[in-house]
Structure 1
Amino acid sequence: MNDKKTLKSIEIQNLSKTFKIDGGNFNVLNNISLSVNQGEFLSIVGSSGCGKSTLLRMIVGLDRNYSGNILSYGESIKGPRVDRGMIFQEARLFPWLTVEKNIAFGLSRRVSNSEKKELVHKQLELVGLTSFAKAYPDQLSGGMKQRISIARALINKPKLLLLDEPFGALDAMTRINMQQEILKIWEKENTTMILVTHDIDEAIYLGDRVIVLSSRPGTIKKIVPVELSRPRDRSGYDFTCIKSKIYDEFFTKVENPFSYNI
């Protein structure tokens, strides 16, 4: 039997995805092969429609209709599991449940009431919603709703956390705070995280590597390592050089405002 400590968290092998629309084939992803180490923070960027979110749905097990293979710790992914959490672009909450009950939803029945209460309280503190524990989703702003989604995804302490533009609905300061909190969790729990984002700054600030996907059909155009110490200085020269490399992958025919001789 293989020792899971030696296995990759995720291995994607020759993955392609095609949708059938009006009788025709719509190729979204083409021949993606990628390994993600246990405990790695991977960022994925690419233009709209290149298959970034589709890729996350396949990794979490929500979509099994593809060619190729996806392994999690050496085993083919057959469907969703609690050790693979996902945070979507929009909050997906139950409007009839309070904030604390939305966060608690999905916890194992084996968790005692006292333990459940403690876990929910910690998550409420993490996302800054302790005062809104008894509120309902329709009483909250869009950013607050998304913070509930983040707390709910983290409460089971998944081995792999997939983040599909999770901070897009948050204001600038809350977004930065949540990025820092996600990093604290990542460092403490050794959770493998895969982030899809349109924000290149965010991708560099959080990621150990940045995967640049081509326009549809999405293929891996470039893998950019982010060999910067943490916490990272977004205004620093090295950060800006990495940003320039990624920016060049999208804009090759116009002047790059972040261009440096690198």
Structure 2
Amino acid sequence: MNFLPHKLLKKGRLKNPRKIKGYILAFTTVFFAGIGWHIAVYFSRDSIIPGPISVLDAVFSLLINDDLFSDIFSSLTRVIAGFFLAAIAGIFVGSISGVSQTARHLISNPLELLRPIPPIAWIPFALVAFGIGHKSAIFVIFIGGFFPIFTNTLLGINNTPKKLLEAGKVLGFSSKRRFKDIIWPSALPSIISGLIIGLGICWMCVIAAEMISARSGLGYQIQLNRQLLMIDKVIAYMVVIGLVGFLGTWLAAQLQAVFVPWLKKGNANSKISRNPPLLDVADSASLKSNFASTNGANVELRNLTFGYTPEQPVIKNCNLAISEGESVAVLGSSGCGKSTLLRLLIGLESPDNGNISISDENNSKHCREVSLVFQDLALFPWMTVKKNIQAGFKNNSCSQGDMNVLDKLIDTMGLTLVQNRYPHQISGGQQQRVALLRSLISNPSLLLMDEPFSSLDIRTRNRLQKDVLTLVKERNNTLIFVTHDIREAVFMADRIIVMPTICNRSWSEYRIDKSNVKPDDFRASDEFLNHCMEISRLLENAEQ
């Protein structure tokens, strides 16, 4: 059954017909529940429970009584006060416990002893400590709202994706900026959920507290009318509580639309090109002029050894030298240590033995001139396309000149029409371009990429391979990228490293004639196919 006229939907007069249908279905449920209630009371003549009609009469009589609004105001004042205190304390304690292990031991663990105690059990203590009145009720409400807010804040902070924290480290975020731009926005949806849950519990607590420790409010009226056996008014006040509580919870839920707009559903407009054209010669020159001049890094690994456990090294006694401006592909079977090599180069892992030098410096000192495009891109979901790229500026320093360059780069890469969208609202190819620009905006001398094109269709992949190569060659960057795709390695690399499955075996190397960006028809040439066959043999040998 369609409750909404087709013509209205077609003309777009109702912006969200699904919500309207949901409200209609909810009203239908309440309506038939009322009919069932009426029938049950009608056939139970000895029951003291009033029917829905009697309750509605009681509700209307309350509405014309000024005392109802006074009681609503009293209860609402207590809920707001207790909830406000619970929100401040819960978010603060949850935040410091999430970012500090010491605070967690000092505060969070002792609080776990109090969590199982129901808020209602605190009423006798509140009466002794604060007496009958507002303070005791507010205290009970505070106890009820604190724990869900505290718990959700702590969980939200602890569940911040590790990959995003690593992206912040790679981008040079300070501790303060890491909390402000990564941890806090990542935890915000969970915090808002805790606020909504906490508000619901606060309403339950205020009714219980007012029944015992107050002389006004909706809970007090329920208790009073129960003693007078005016059950219709008891249920009428329950209906009022439900309506007021529902309105409060709905208003709290709107915080999500205001404070976490990136969670809104929506995709890029179908009219916007989802696959921007390849960079032409003019675009390439424009990109080169927009970036500051840079020299590629030379990289040297000497007797490098690393393992996640001492018994099983992933890389053992590795030696490798990469020249300035060289493009190197790393191939190998899954688990052989390709991504681990990039993590060592960027400084996310430290070698057990040996040394890594980049431009004749230790990699930990040189990490600001090294950038990484993560395998899953690690774009910040709460930042727009433009903000994600802007995050690549080191130390959050961004002058007006930098912003002008940023706008030109966004336009050159075909992202102008989507620069104010969030990552989930743009295509995979556009996300790749955003991640690439974010890594290049700081003018790194060494660019690392971890299978950045693996999830794309072949046309988009080929397009972006050429785009990346154009950028790297024009800026003379040193490029090291991990891939499983032999064709990708042959097209983009000057040299290919094949990592063996067994870590104590030596790495194989295969050199391709060094040149500028290869033409598209290179992929169809006999030379290209011969390179692919030779590398395939090397991979087979490495896996034996």
TM-score range (shorter-chain normalised) is 0.7 to 0.9
C-alpha displacement of 1:134: 0.4
Q: Contact 1:224 / 1:246 at 8 angstroms: preserved in 2?
A: yes
Q: Contact 2:331 / 2:484 at 8 angstroms: preserved in 1?
A: yes
Map of 1:182 onto structure 2: 468
* Aligned partner letter, 2:535: I
Q: Contact 2:375 / 2:452 at 8 angstroms: preserved in 1?
A: yes
DSSP-derived class of the 2:503 partner: coil
DSSP-derived class of the 1:82 partner: helix
Deviations 1:163-204 (A, max 9, x none): 111111222222111111111112211100001100101101
Q: How does 1:105-184 map to 2 (within 5 A)?
A: 105-108=391-394, 109-113=396-400, 115-184=401-470
CA distance in 2, matches of 1:116, 1:68: 38
Query: Does 1:16 pair with 2:305?
Result: yes
Map of 2:352 onto structure 1: 66
Unaligned runs of 5+ in 1: 1-5, 253-262
C-alpha displacement of 1:81: 2.4
Structure 1 pair 7/173, CA: closer, same or farther in 2 (3 Å)?
closer
Query: Does 1:43 pair with 2:332?
Result: no
Map of 2:526 onto structure 1: 237
* Aligned partner letter, 1:112: S
DSSP-derived class of the 1:247 partner: helix
DSSP-derived class of the 1:161 partner: strand
Structure 1 pair 88/155, CA: closer, same or farther in 2 (3 Å)?
same
* Aligned partner letter, 2:484: H
Map of 1:96 onto structure 2: 382
CA distance in 2, matches of 1:148, 1:219: 38
* Aligned partner letter, 2:326: E
DSSP-derived class of the 2:497 partner: strand
DSSP-derived class of the 2:538 partner: helix
Provide the TM-score with structure 2 as the length reference. Answer: 0.42
Question: Higher RCO, 1 or 2 (CA under 8 Å, sep at least 6)?
Answer: 1
C-alpha displacement of 1:79: 5.8
CA distance in 1, matches of 2:437, 2:317: 34
CA distance in 2, matches of 1:88, 1:82: 16
Q: Contact 1:38 / 1:192 at 8 angstroms: preserved in 2?
A: yes
Match among 199, 202, 227 for residue 513 of structure 2: 227
Question: After alignment, is 238-247 or 54-63 more displaced?
Answer: 238-247
CA distance in 2, matches of 1:218, 1:224: 19
CA distance in 1, matches of 2:408, 2:349: 32
C-alpha displacement of 1:92: 0.9
DSSP-derived class of the 1:43 partner: strand
Deviations 1:107-156 (A, max 9, x none): 1444313x232232233234432211000123234443333211111111
CA distance in 2, matches of 1:214, 1:29: 10
C-alpha displacement of 1:216: 3.8
Query: Does 1:76 pair with 2:362?
Result: yes
Q: Contact 2:296 / 2:476 at 8 angstroms: preserved in 1?
A: no
DSSP-derived class of the 2:481 partner: strand
Q: Contact 1:124 / 1:130 at 8 angstroms: preserved in 2?
A: yes
Structure 1 pair 89/219, CA: closer, same or farther in 2 (3 Å)?
farther
C-alpha displacement of 1:244: 1.1
Q: Contact 1:119 / 1:155 at 8 angstroms: preserved in 2?
A: no
Q: By percentage of residues, which structure has more strand?
A: 1
* Aligned partner letter, 2:493: G
Q: How does 1:1-12 map to 2 (within 5 A)?
A: 9-12=298-301
C-alpha displacement of 1:89: 0.5
* Aligned partner letter, 2:507: K
DSSP-derived class of the 1:31 partner: strand
Map of 1:259 onto structure 2: none
* Residues paired across the two proteins, number: 244
- Give the superposed CA RMSD: 2.3
Q: Contact 1:146 / 1:169 at 8 angstroms: preserved in 2?
A: no
CA distance in 2, matches of 1:78, 1:180: 31
Question: After alignment, is 80-89 or 160-169 more displaced?
Answer: 80-89
DSSP-derived class of the 2:456 partner: coil
Question: After alignment, is 35-44 or 75-84 more displaced?
Answer: 75-84
Structure 1 pair 140/216, CA: closer, same or farther in 2 (3 Å)?
farther
DSSP-derived class of the 1:194 partner: strand
Q: Contact 1:49 / 1:216 at 8 angstroms: preserved in 2?
A: no
| Structure with larger Rg | 2
Structure 1 pair 211/11, CA: closer, same or farther in 2 (3 Å)?
same
CA distance in 2, matches of 1:65, 1:223: 22
C-alpha displacement of 1:228: 6.0
CA distance in 2, matches of 1:201, 1:220: 23
Query: Does 1:202 pair with 2:488?
Result: yes
Structure 1 pair 159/218, CA: closer, same or farther in 2 (3 Å)?
farther
Match among 341, 344, 348 for residue 55 of structure 1: 341
